[in-house]
């Protein structure tokens, strides 16, 4: 059995810094707008009411381009292809790290999509590329960035691919006056490929969104790995804002064991400056009966590895936890137990919901949580109410936290979960499922 | 763990984002975690005056218990509270708050080295005796550079990188206090800041230091940024082990979700007294 280690790529070390450097060699000054004393009103917090935007800014934001019929773009080496509803400016460029497409949104207005040959942490990648774009390109062309803020983040699905996006507004000053600009970013990740699209313009938002999501959603690569036998993707929201996505893929090896790989990415605007980002990968091996064999968890916070832990079964002593947690070396023995897996949890809920009167039915299980990695956590699963004929509301309580799940009675799978965390409500909603676990 | 559940559990660490004001930039923050605040119309309330607020949250009775004030009527989703003196809150467990822990690892060489810097600085200023909250705040404020790039780091890492937001200011303050033999703990809550006649409430974390049997706020992150910061603590970081992120979820029921500033409160008579602190409670004018 293969027990591979999943290590997240930290973008700082990625040699390819996307195509933006090259793109910014072209003059873009004309796309920045007139000098305005806009100040911080655009990013004012709750303590101050935001000033209405001046008409010139409203007009600039409203600009859109014209899309064309989608056309197929294939790399010269036939390795990748995608479909896009915008004319290409020049050919698809290739270097050792990426393919780069410059796409025309309107006369004189181009966006760029970069198909990376390596995997990236989507949220950290957005943050890192924004930083590089501001400091290495925009500042050099338009002067000092006096203010920048994330106006909007989003997450969702483009075809079979989850994506994250961030829209920035910034004010640059080259000494002759302040100018307002916008930076739009999209990143999608699927089957080992990552696509990054960016536009440095305050307008053309919808046009660019359609172009970027078309590229992300239609990307095909000749080296795509075998399709998983089960795949599920969910979108994470904080309040009404979609801020992240999660996915799980399951593959079976020759022994019948399942390797599940869960990816998560989240980007949260955190005030003036940069957003907070979270990326993680959890790889677990599970027996055909659903028992955990081992597990590896890597979490990256703002591009820096925060958790890198292995949970290994020890024949005599239960479990051994080892690795790094918050910069510290960790080596801990956990008691003999059967920590739950995706399979056993689904089975447990299905059993509860199969009862004649499931409401009020309750069971407990043992979980290993990365939020409390030094010990196992007992989780209580309780059926609260029927949602409709086919689904129930189930509350899972783990330590001091709880989450309410909408669960399909027949499969035991949850398709929506809501959790109150402090002043905010976090919701994870399944948006894509293929196969059966 | 089902994928939707794991999404949330993974992001428990993100919950810790809730706990910080962007040191000195609260007014320009576009954070999702700014607490909606309604300000009264008309002239402002002097910073020295007690301020009556309505706190909207999931379990007002639980917060009333934490703050040691009378609980609202059953079913209410609002707790009326007067912000004046720094309130004493009770943790759920009895402990000395002086021990090293995973988060407050003050025996680590990087923290002890910083502790020596702190001791030297105090000696040079002629200070004697145990460090005061003011000593700690001044030193930590000068040591850490504000950064929103960090989550909640352990003290040894903070001492090494000297970066962070309110949480790291708080953890390092607690570590240096404990290293000097002064009990201290990390608390979470909200701060109410005044901007002219309007108010803004923000999630925040700071340290409490035990002085003469009373817990005193020691906030190195918000020092001279505002004329007056009104503090409302509602929880202590009890689990200083690797499960600290999960522990923070314990505070969800008492998390204030909206603040209505109602105006000045007066010291009319009779004054309800807090049985724990003896601090007078104020009634609406």
State the pLDDT confidence band at A51, using cuts at 50, 70 and 90.
Answer: low
Who among A270, A367, A422 is closest to B251 (CB)?
A422
The answer to whether A40 faces chain B, any CB pair under 8 Å, is yes
The answer to whether B15 faces chain A, any CB pair under 8 Å, is yes
Q: How far apart are CA A92 and CA A98, in angstroms?
A: 10
Would the pLDDT of A44 be above 80? no
Whether B14 sits inside 8 A of A278 (CB atoms) is yes
Phi-psi region of A175 (alpha: psi -120 to 50; beta: other; left: phi over 0): left
Strand partners, A167: A152, A184
ipTM strictly over 0.85? no
Q: What are the extents of the domains in chain B?
A: 3-284
Q: Identify all chain A residues contacting B22, using CB atoms and an 8 Å cutoff.
A: 270-273
Tokens 């393919």: give the residue: A99
CB < 8 Å from B in window 79-108 of A: none
* Residue in chain B nearest A346 by alpha carbon: B2
The 10s digit of each residue's pLDDT in A103-156 is: 999 999 999 999 998 889 999 999 999 999 999 989 998 899 998 988 899 999
Would the pLDDT of A185 be above 60? yes
**pLDDT score at A6:** 23
Residue A101 exposed, middle or buried by CB count within 10 Å (0-12, 13-18, 19+): buried
Q: How far is A2 from chain B (nearest CA, A)?
A: 22
- The gap from C-alpha B198 to its chain's centroid, in whole angstroms, comes to 21
For B186, the enclosing helix (H) or strand (E) is: strand B184-195
DSSP, res B213: T
Q: How far is A36 from chain B (nearest CA, A)?
A: 18
Whether A424 sits inside 8 A of B6 (CB atoms) is no
For CA atoms A8, A13, A14, A20, give the dihedral sign: positive
Q: How far is A184 from chain B (nearest CA, A)?
A: 17
Q: Identify all chain B residues contacting A372, using CB atoms and an 8 Å cutoff.
A: 242-243, 245-246
Who among A349, A400, A426 is closest to B8 (CB)?
A426
Strand partners, B38: B260
* Residue in chain B nearest A424 by alpha carbon: B33
Would the pLDDT of A259 be above 60? yes
- Checking DSSP bridges between strand B37-38 and strand B256-266, what pairing results, if any? parallel
**pLDDT score at A29:** 29
- φ and ψ at A130, to 5 degrees? -65, -45
Residue B173: other Cβ atoms inside 10 A: 31
**pLDDT score at A42:** 29
The 10s digit of each residue's pLDDT in B260-284 is: 999 888 754 333 333 333 333 322 2
Q: How far apart are CA B164 and CA B19, in angstroms?
A: 12
* Residue in chain B nearest A349 by alpha carbon: B2
The structure tokens listed for A23 are: 């793109």
- φ and ψ at A232, to 5 degrees? -145, 140
CB < 8 Å from B in window 307-346 of A: 325-328, 330, 340-342, 345-346
Strand partners, A330: A323
Whole-number Cα distances in Å, A343 to A290, A292, A348, A353, B9: 5, 9, 9, 15, 18
**pLDDT score at A118:** 85
Q: What is the mean pLDDT of residues A206-213?
A: 98
**CB-based contacts of A13: which residues, under 8 Å, 6+ apart?**
none
Whether A278 sits inside 8 A of B10 (CB atoms) is yes
The structure tokens listed for A59 are: 């007009």
The answer to whether A400 faces chain B, any CB pair under 8 Å, is yes
**CB-based contacts of A21: which residues, under 8 Å, 6+ apart?**
A132, A136, A137
The structure tokens listed for B19 are: 């706990």
The answer to whether B101 faces chain A, any CB pair under 8 Å, is no
The 10s digit of each residue's pLDDT in A277-286 is: 999 999 999 9
Whole-number Cα distances in Å, A210 to A68, A83, A207, B181: 11, 11, 5, 61
The answer to whether B93 faces chain A, any CB pair under 8 Å, is no
**pLDDT score at A243:** 93
Q: How far apart are CA B117 and CA A180, in angstroms?
A: 45
Q: Regarding predicted confidence, which is higher, B1 or A207?
A: A207
| Average confidence score pLDDT of chain B | 82
Which of A11, A368, A401 is closest to A196 using CA atoms?
A: A11
The 10s digit of each residue's pLDDT in B118-130 is: 999 999 999 989 9
Q: How far is A389 from chain B (nearest CA, A)?
A: 21
Which of the residues A308, A401, A404 would you substitute to probe the B interface, choosing the one with the greatest number of B C-beta atoms within 10 Å?
A: A401
Q: How far apart are CA A407 and CA B31, in angstroms?
A: 32
Q: Identify all chain A residues contacting B25, using CB atoms and an 8 Å cutoff.
A: 271-272
- The gap from C-alpha B138 to its chain's centroid, in whole angstroms, comes to 17
- Report whether A405 contacts A394 (CB < 8 A): yes
Strand partners, B283: B266
Whether A420 sits inside 8 A of B151 (CB atoms) is no
Whole-number Cα distances in Å, B59 to A121, A191, A399, B167, B260: 38, 44, 18, 25, 16
**pLDDT score at A287:** 95
Whether A272 sits inside 8 A of B58 (CB atoms) is no
Q: How far is A41 from chain B (nearest CA, A)?
A: 8
Q: How far is A308 from chain B (nearest CA, A)?
A: 13
Whether B5 sits inside 8 A of A236 (CB atoms) is no
CA torsion angle A375 A377 A378 A384 (round to 10): 180
Domain A11-221 class, CATH top level: mainly beta
**pLDDT score at B8:** 54
The structure tokens listed for A434 are: 């293929």
Would the pLDDT of B93 be above 90? no
Q: What are the extents of the domains in chain A?
A: 11-221, 338-437
The 10s digit of each residue's pLDDT in B226-263 is: 557 899 999 999 999 999 988 888 888 898 989 999 98
**Which 3-state string (H, E, C) describes chain A?**
CCCCCCCCCCHHHCCCCCCHHHHCCCCCHHHCCCCCCCHHHHHCCCCCCCCCCCHHHHHHHHCCCCCCCCEEEECCCCCEEEEECCCECCCCEECCCEEEEEEEEECCEEEEEEEECCCCCHHHHHHHHHHHHHHHHHHHHHCEEEEEEEEEEEEEEECCEEEEEEEEEEEEECCCCEEEEEEEEEEEEECCEEEEEEECCCCCHHHHHHHHHHHHHHCEECCCCCCCCEEEEEEEEECCEEEEEEEEEEEECCCCCEEEEEEEEEEECCCCCCCEEEEEEEEEEECCCCCEEEEEEEEEECCEEEEEEEEEEECCCEEEEEEEECCEEEEEEECCCCCCCHHHHHHHHHHHHCCCCCCCCEEEEEECCCCCCCCCEEEEEEEEEEEECCEEEEEEEECCEEEEEEEECCCCCEEEEEEEECCEEEEEEEEEEEECC
* Residue in chain A nearest B257 by alpha carbon: A423
The 10s digit of each residue's pLDDT in A348-364 is: 999 999 999 999 999 99
Whether B28 sits inside 8 A of A44 (CB atoms) is yes
* Residue in chain B nearest A247 by alpha carbon: B3
**pLDDT score at A239:** 84
Would the pLDDT of A12 be above 50? no
């Amino acid at each position: 059995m293969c027990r591979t280690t999943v290590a997240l790529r930290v973008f700082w070390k990625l040699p390819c810094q996307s195509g933006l450097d090259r793109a910014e060699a072209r003059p873009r000054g004309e796309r920045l707008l007139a000098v305005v004393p806009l100040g911080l009103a655009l990013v004012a917090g709750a303590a101050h009411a935001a000033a209405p935007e001046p008409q010139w800014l409203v007009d600039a934001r409203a600009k859109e381009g014209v899309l064309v019929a989608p056309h197929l773009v294939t790399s010269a080496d036939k390795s990748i292809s995608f479909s896009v509803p915008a004319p290409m400016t020049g050919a698809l460029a290739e270097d050792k790290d990426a393919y780069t497409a410059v796409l025309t949104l309107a006369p004189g207005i181009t966006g760029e999509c970069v198909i990376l040959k390596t995997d990236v942490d989507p949220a950290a990648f957005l943050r890192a590329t924004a930083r590089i774009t501001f400091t290495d390109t925009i500042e050099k062309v338009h002067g000092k960035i006096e203010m920048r803020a994330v106006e909007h983040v989003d997450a969702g699905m483009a075809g079979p691919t989850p994506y994250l996006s961030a829209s920035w507004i910034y004010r640059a000053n080259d000494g002759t006056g302040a100018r307002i600009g916008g930076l739009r970013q999209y990143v999608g990740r699927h089957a080992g490929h990552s696509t990054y699209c960016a536009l440095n313009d305050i307008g053309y938002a919808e046009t660019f969104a359609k172009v970027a999501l078309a590229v992300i959603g239609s990307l095909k690569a000749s080296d795509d790995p075998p399709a998983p036998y089960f795949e599920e993707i969910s979108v994470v929201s904080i309040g009404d804002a979609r801020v992240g996505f999660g996915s799980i893929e399951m593959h079976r090896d020759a022994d019948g064991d399942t390797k599940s790989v869960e990816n998560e990415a989240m980007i949260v605007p955190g005030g003036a400056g940069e957003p907070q980002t979270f990326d993680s990968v959890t790889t677990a091996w599970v027996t055909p009966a659903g028992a955990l064999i081992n597990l590896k968890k890597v979490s990256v916070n703002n591009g820096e590895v925060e958790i890198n832990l292995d949970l290994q079964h020890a024949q005599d002593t239960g479990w051994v936890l080892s690795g790094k947690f918050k910069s510290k070396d960790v080596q801990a023995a956990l008691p003999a137990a059967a920590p739950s897996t995706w399979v056993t949890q689904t089975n447990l809920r299905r059993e509860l919901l199969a009862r004649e009167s499931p409401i009020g039915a309750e069971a407990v299980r043992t979980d290993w949580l990365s939020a409390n990695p030094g010990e196992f956590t007992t989780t209580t699963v309780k059926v609260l109410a029927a949602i409709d004929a086919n689904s129930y509301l189930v509350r899972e309580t783990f330590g001091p936290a709880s989450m309410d799940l909408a669960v399909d009675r027949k499969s035991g799978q949850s398709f929506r979960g809501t959790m109150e965390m402090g002043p905010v409500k976090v919701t994870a909603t399944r948006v894509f499922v293929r196969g059966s676990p | 763990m089902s994928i939707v559940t794991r999404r949330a559990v993974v992001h428990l660490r993100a919950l810790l984002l809730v706990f910080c004001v962007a040191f000195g930039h609260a007014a320009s923050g576009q954070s999702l975690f700014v607490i909606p605040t309604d300000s009264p119309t008309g002239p402002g309330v002097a910073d020295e005056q007690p301020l009556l607020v309505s706190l909207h949250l999931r379990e007002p009775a639980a917060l009333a218990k934490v703050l040691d004030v009378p609980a609202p009527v059953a079913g209410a989703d609002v707790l009326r509270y007067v912000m004046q003196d720094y309130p004493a809150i009770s943790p759920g467990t009895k402990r000395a708050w002086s021990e090293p822990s995973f988060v407050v690892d003050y025996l680590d060489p990087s923290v002890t080295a910083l502790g020596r810097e702190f001791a030297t600085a105090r000696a040079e200023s002629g200070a004697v005796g145990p460090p005061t909250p003011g000593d700690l705040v001044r030193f930590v404020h000068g040591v850490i550079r504000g950064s929103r790039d960090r989550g909640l780091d352990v003290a040894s890492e903070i001492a090494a990188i000297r970066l962070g937001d309110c949480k790291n200011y708080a953890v390092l303050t607690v570590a240096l206090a404990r290293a000097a033999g002064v009990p201290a703990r990390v608390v979470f809550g909200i701060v109410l800041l005044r901007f002219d006649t309007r108010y803004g409430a923000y999630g925040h974390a700071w340290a409490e230091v035990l002085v003469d049997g009373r817990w005193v706020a020691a906030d190195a992150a918000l020092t001279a940024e505002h004329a007056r910061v009104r503090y409302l603590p509602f929880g202590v970081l009890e689990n200083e082990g690797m499960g600290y992120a999960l522990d923070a979820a314990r505070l969800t029921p008492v998390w204030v979700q909206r603040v209505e500033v109602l105006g000045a409160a007066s010291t009319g008579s009779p004054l309800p007294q807090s049985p724990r602190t003896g601090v007078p409670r104020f009634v609406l004018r």
